[in-house]
């Protein structure tokens, strides 16, 4: 799965670089990105993650279609109270525990825009790529960690509004899903993005 995700990202980057020579309009988006755990993520850490940010860059193929690549970083954290962790060598560590999940989605993206772009513009998007997921349980001075890469997908929907020449204010909601493998469990969460898009 990791190889498939790497090939998708590699193809997307090559497409953007080659397309940039012919395209008159590129874009870069920078956003704040809080996230809300679901499924296995909610079992690991049941609090919303207010530490998050991301960036996306790409090109418009037409007024309605764009292709890009995106990178985000989301952190989930909660205090777990009294915690015991048993290791493979039959040792048990007990104490006050803290749980962290770090998720770094790296996606190739595609978007479809409704309207003419002069006013409030709704859009929908999809993405595919890879998610780096790290799950830490801290007990005292000990850190028990599982990490790895997983193939991931997302759908999203959002709105953009022009606030200046070549600048748009945007909000969207995205559902991220990462497929489980031998290293990391499957994961899912929602994130909201609020930020600015610059076109050039």
Mean of the per-residue pLDDT values for the chain? 88
Does the pLDDT value for residue 15 go beyond 70? Answer: no
What Rg, from alpha-carbon coordinates, does the chain have? 19
| pLDDT band for position 42 (cuts 50, 70, 90) | confident
Distance CA 68, CA 199 (A): 13
Look at residue 173 in the predicted model and tell me its pLDDT: 98
Q: Are 49 and 36 in contact (CB under 8 A)?
A: yes
Look at residue 79 in the predicted model and tell me its pLDDT: 86
Distance CA 186, CA 152 (A): 9
Structural domain including 84 reads 2-199
Q: Is 33 exposed, middle or buried (0-12, 13-18, 19+ CB in 10 A)?
A: buried
| pLDDT band for position 10 (cuts 50, 70, 90) | low
Q: Are 123 and 158 in contact (CB under 8 A)?
A: yes
User: Global pTM?
Assistant: 0.82
| pLDDT band for position 5 (cuts 50, 70, 90) | low
Look at residue 21 in the predicted model and tell me its pLDDT: 44
Number of domains in the chain: 1
Q: Is 134 exposed, middle or buried (0-12, 13-18, 19+ CB in 10 A)?
A: middle
Domain containing residue 145: CATH number? 2.40.160.20
* CB-based contacts of 147, cutoff 8 Å, min separation 6: 132, 133, 134, 135, 183, 184
The residue among 54, 21, 8, 81 whose CA lies nearest residue 156 is: 54
């Amino acid at each position: 799965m990791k190889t498939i995700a790497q090939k998708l990202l590699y193809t997307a980057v090559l497409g953007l670089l080659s397309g940039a020579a012919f395209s008159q309009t590129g874009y870069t988006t920078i956003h704040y990105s809080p996230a809300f755990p679901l499924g296995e993520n909610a079992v690991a850490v049941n609090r919303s993650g207010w530490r998050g940010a991301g960036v996306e860059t790409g090109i418009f193929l037409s007024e309605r279609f764009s292709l890009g690549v995106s990178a985000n970083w989301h952190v989930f954290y909660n205090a777990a109270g009294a915690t015991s962790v048993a290791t493979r060598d039959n040792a048990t560590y007990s104490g006050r525990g803290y749980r962290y999940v770090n998720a770094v989605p790296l996606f190739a993206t595609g978007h479809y825009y409704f309207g003419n772009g002069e006013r409030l513009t709704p859009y929908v998007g999809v993405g595919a790529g890879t998610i780096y997921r790290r799950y830490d349980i801290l007990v005292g001075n000990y850190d028990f960690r599982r990490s790895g890469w997983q193939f991931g997908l997302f759908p999203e929907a959002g709105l953009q509004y022009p606030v200046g020449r070549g600048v748009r204010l945007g909000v969207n909601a995205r559902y991220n899903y990462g497929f489980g493998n031998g290293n990391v469990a499957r994961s899912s969460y929602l994130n909201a993005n609020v930020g600015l898009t610059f076109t050039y």
